[in-house]
Amino acid sequence: MTSVLAVIPARGGSKSVPRKNIKELAGKPLIAHTIEPAREVERLTDIVVSTEDEEIADIARRCGAQVPFMRPKALAEDMVLTYPVVMHALEEMERRRGASYDAVLLLQPTTPLRRASHIDQALDMLSSRPCDSVVSVVEISHYHPFHMKRLIGDRLVNYIDQGFEDMRPRQVLPPVYLRNGAIYLSRREVLVRDQSLVGPHCLGMVMAEEESVNIDGPLDFLLAAALIEGRVA
């Protein structure tokens, strides 16, 4: 695996926190917390920010990322999925460089606590194992699906029907994991052939809970800032 394209999607619109991708977190724009560790990874051939927003593009360039094209407005609407955004970046970059990449790495700015070592770990896993993709996950510690319910009318039933009312403590339940959004790494043919960010043979890379904060609302900024302060204390 000799060439890897890292794509950082950062549109200007945000419903929960206005201008979220460039809002200050621990003294830096949010997006800087993704660009800076990516730049520490020598195996990344290109680090590209996909945005339709000129201010975000300018900040991304100052942080050391490439912004060689602007994202079409049609790919920056609220309901647009991530896959077409990444494919647009891949096609644009391959057209510009005149060659294909071996793999594509999606780094979302809303997971700012990943480190360069996590990216290196994912690259090691993809290059050394017979797999299509590597995705970062975090173990669910509080809301186990065996304890979850759903309503049929007003009747409360198990979300997963294990045949009994499961009151067992979390410690004895089988571990379950949730994608934390920090790393999606796939071979190029997965995106082109399967039209998906993740292939059928996907490896999970476990990250700690304190590394897996996903910035969605104002409280997440406070939590992430406290964790970043704790790192340097």
Regarding whether 122 and 28 lie in a shared domain, the answer is yes
Strands 4-9 and 46-50: parallel
Residue 88 and residue 48 in one domain:
yes
Are residues 118 and 198 part of one domain?
yes
pTM as predicted: 0.93
Tens-digit pLDDT string for the chain (233 aa): 789 999 999 999 887 789 999 999 999 999 999 999 999 999 999 999 999 999 999 999 999 999 999 999 999 998 999 999 999 999 999 999 999 999 999 999 999 999 999 999 999 999 999 999 999 999 998 888 888 999 999 999 998 887 788 788 878 888 999 999 999 999 999 999 999 999 999 999 999 999 999 999 999 999 999 999 988 65
Domain that holds residue 65: 4-137+181-232
Q: Say yes or no: 198 and 216 in one domain.
A: yes
Q: 186 near 175, Cβ under 8 Å? A: no
| 121 and 154 both lie in a single domain | no
